[in-house]
Amino acid sequence: MSKKMRKDTTLANQAPAGVLSAQGIAEKLGFDVSTIRRAIVRLAERGVNLNSQTYRFRRTYAVGYDKTAQEQIAKQLRHGLYVAKTPEGVLSMNAMANKMRISLGHVTNAVYALKAAGVDLKGEVYLFGGVRTAGYGPEAQKLIRAACHKQPKSPLWKTGIDCRKKPCESLA
């Protein structure tokens, strides 16, 4: 431990309630601690002041972040390069198109039509094949499938079957 760190930590108080270390934020948000640290570095590079201080967390000393700083870090993770792991059953529009055996354009049109009608599909950004894109859960997939089948001239591109005559059961 360096002299500077020793000097800073000898007077460090126990972390107040609500203040978390990078490790604590990682556990709370479900990310790896290295991802949290990269987000903190990015915020610092942009000149964001996180009002961090060194605190004692159990038996170790670490930099602690208050609620405001934690929200800024979470926002950086949501809107930065980092996305949460894709939950089971969540599909991208491309995966839905492949599963329903229709073109991506039909799925995209259905999503836009539902959003224009005020339907909240609750799409979250996830990582699919290394690409950040919206993912939709099973309930949203049912709505999207129904909207796809209402579209005129919605042929199943792999089989040539018209969705309006023979509904796709693959997402049922």
Mean pLDDT score across all residues of the chain? 79
Whether the per-residue pLDDT at 141 is higher than 60: the answer is yes
CB 52, CB 62: distance < 8 Å? no
- Where does the pLDDT of residue 138 fall: very low under 50, low under 70, confident under 90, or very high at 90 and above? very high
- Where does the pLDDT of residue 31 fall: very low under 50, low under 70, confident under 90, or very high at 90 and above? confident
pLDDT given at position 5: 47
Whether the per-residue pLDDT at 167 is higher than 50: the answer is no
Q: Which range is least confidently modeled, 18-32, 100-114, 150-164?
A: 150-164
Record the pTM: 0.47
DSSP code at position 138: H
Taking each continuous run of H as one helix and of E as one strand, the counts in the chain are: 7, 5
Distance CA 122, CA 110 (A): 15
- Where does the pLDDT of residue 129 fall: very low under 50, low under 70, confident under 90, or very high at 90 and above? low
Whether the per-residue pLDDT at 154 is higher than 60: the answer is no
Whether the per-residue pLDDT at 36 is higher than 70: the answer is yes
Reported as a single tens digit per residue, the pLDDT across 63-100 is: 999 999 999 998 888 776 566 667 889 999 999 999 98
- Output the six-digit token pair for 99: 């599963």
- Output the six-digit token pair for 135: 């993912």
The domains of the chain are located at 3-79, 83-172
Mean pLDDT, rounded, for 109-113: 89
